[in-house]
Structure 1
């Protein structure tokens, strides 16, 4: 696993890089400097739900030129995952750098209108209810199945909708039937980072060759384990911890 990003030349940047390296991530593609490291203030209510205020920093200065300079990292990957906390024009450049046969996983967070070029590359587009409604607008509909159909009509190859305690829904276009992926029952302590944990696990399992519903089922387990712990990165389980915290046999069948 390699990371292509930009952090500030400051204590926060050092903290982030040290954490990634400790997890075995290749950070050769992480650029340093240009602005302070982006930070977020996160509050968590008694039910475990969170509110986040983000102050963008160096991540907002990752440019298309940076992607072109490190294009080998992108073209060598089986799966490339991105979000919208970097400029949209930079995400579009990532799409152009993909090699044939690779998969592009996009979580449009914070949500914004997506150009056709980016939508067409998504396999899958990963959204929660809020992100789906922002992208679809007034015609979103009321059910995850409707959101999936509406999103597929915009052009992505497949869609995953995360549903919190209800698990997730997957659908592959243009005429694929939606598949509900149930979630195990856990005691949520802090939902911060659960969506990121889900998306990372999804990309990893897709890279191993799993089909979308199977990969999503694993990702639901990872997200479920993450909400049982406080924090963001600190809450993410290893594979061994996942097997102990949320055993596969405890997940209901679709």
Structure 2
């Protein structure tokens, strides 16, 4: 599917989770039953959809976030932070008597992490809410969804985008059964673990081209992220291409690298770039994101040659 432009400038709608994140720095991730002493604490905006929307905005492309927070102080702070990051929050819901989603993230000295998420308001989003987002989805160039809200809600949004001719990126993270959404994904984005779960076969590194080629029967196109090894791209012909990642100058925190990837990928596709060129931009952005602690509002600017393309479309 070619990029769909319903407005004067490219615009990406992102539907999904919005959380209040607490980062704890530790020298090493604890083993089961082990207590470790933290060496740093950071509270920040998070959630995959929020991070991805900010990554779109950091690329210089219009981003609108569709989701829900609670009617608590955390929710008010997150909405303010998103607006300050140039994300359109006009469609965000404030649900009464429901807390805002939370995530606890442990990050070790090597930049690796473990994450526990409590959905709260995110888990209360329904297909009825998606119906209220219909006009915003219809006016988008690209819709992005993930797996942090209920599958039924996500599928409803993807079907709405399909009705309106809007290209959809499905980020299957966390892994779950998104049923009818997968064949409509263009692309379906997974990491190695998620790809292995979906295909029932191990996906490990750039040498997994034969296994990754099977994704051509699952979605319109697919991208498997490989961390420091970049990403693999496959289209419906089954042809697999490898896009290596540049070497990271410093690894501080890998949290949010996948979200930076997806956000910049969406921005690049919305600007009319091919999937392979968009993935190359996204790999660069993911590498840049791991040089800072935290995600979302702590992302650097990702305007990787997209501004001129955006202005050309607008003109």
Q: Normalized against structure 1, the TM-score is what?
A: 0.89
d(CA) in 2 for partners of 1:123, 1:47: 33
**Deviating more after overlay: 143-152 vs 4-13:** 143-152
- How is 1:167-182 mapped onto 2 (pairs within 5 angstroms)? 167-173=230-236, 175-182=237-244
Residue 227 of structure 2 corresponds to: 164
Structure 1 stretches lacking a partner, 5+ long:
244-254
Per the TM alignment, residue 100 of structure 1 is displaced from its structure 2 partner at its CA by 4.3
Matched, 1:198 2:258: no
Q: 1:147 to 1:29 in 2, by over 3 A?
A: farther
Per the TM alignment, residue 147 of structure 1 is displaced from its structure 2 partner at its CA by 3.7
Q: Deviating runs (4+, > 3 A) in structure 1?
A: 139-144
For 2:213, which of 140, 144, 149 is the aligned residue? 149
Instruction: Work out whether residues 253 and 293 of structure 2, in 8 Å CA contact, stay in contact via their aligned partners in 1.
Output: yes
- How is 1:61-210 mapped onto 2 (pairs within 5 angstroms)? 61-98=124-161, 99-115=163-179, 117-137=180-200, 139-140=201-202, 143-154=207-218, 156-173=219-236, 175-186=237-248, 187-210=250-273
Instruction: Work out whether residues 85 and 297 of structure 2, in 8 Å CA contact, stay in contact via their aligned partners in 1.
Output: no
Q: Normalized against structure 2, the TM-score is what?
A: 0.72
Residue 79 of structure 2 corresponds to: 17
For 1:222, which of 262, 285, 288 is the aligned residue? 285
Residue 247 of structure 1 corresponds to: none
d(CA) in 2 for partners of 1:216, 1:7: 31
Per the TM alignment, residue 166 of structure 1 is displaced from its structure 2 partner at its CA by 0.7
Instruction: Work out whether residues 140 and 150 of structure 1, in 8 Å CA contact, stay in contact via their aligned partners in 2.
Output: no
d(CA) in 2 for partners of 1:147, 1:30: 39
d(CA) in 2 for partners of 1:211, 1:144: 23
Paired residues, number: 238
d(CA) in 2 for partners of 1:183, 1:125: 19
What is the SS of the residue equivalent to 1:27? coil
**Deviating more after overlay: 145-154 vs 16-25:** 145-154
Instruction: Work out whether residues 7 and 59 of structure 1, in 8 Å CA contact, stay in contact via their aligned partners in 2.
Output: yes
d(CA) in 2 for partners of 1:24, 1:235: 13
Residue 36 of structure 2 corresponds to: none
Q: Deviations over 1:84-121 (max 9, x none)?
A: 11110001110121144421001111101231x21111
Matched, 1:59 2:126: no
Per the TM alignment, residue 224 of structure 1 is displaced from its structure 2 partner at its CA by 0.6
d(CA) in 1 for partners of 2:295, 2:70: 20
Per the TM alignment, residue 238 of structure 1 is displaced from its structure 2 partner at its CA by 1.2
What is the SS of the residue equivalent to 2:103? strand
Per the TM alignment, residue 80 of structure 1 is displaced from its structure 2 partner at its CA by 0.2
Per the TM alignment, residue 140 of structure 1 is displaced from its structure 2 partner at its CA by 4.4
Per the TM alignment, residue 151 of structure 1 is displaced from its structure 2 partner at its CA by 2.1
Per the TM alignment, residue 21 of structure 1 is displaced from its structure 2 partner at its CA by 0.5
Q: Quick one: higher RCO (CA 8 Å, sep 6+), 1 or 2?
A: 2
d(CA) in 2 for partners of 1:101, 1:6: 25
Per the TM alignment, residue 144 of structure 1 is displaced from its structure 2 partner at its CA by 3.3
Q: 1:141 to 1:185 in 2, by over 3 A?
A: closer
Structure 2 stretches lacking a partner, 5+ long:
1-62, 306-315
Instruction: Work out whether residues 229 and 235 of structure 1, in 8 Å CA contact, stay in contact via their aligned partners in 2.
Output: yes
Matched, 1:28 2:90: yes
Instruction: Work out whether residues 102 and 118 of structure 2, in 8 Å CA contact, stay in contact via their aligned partners in 1.
Output: yes
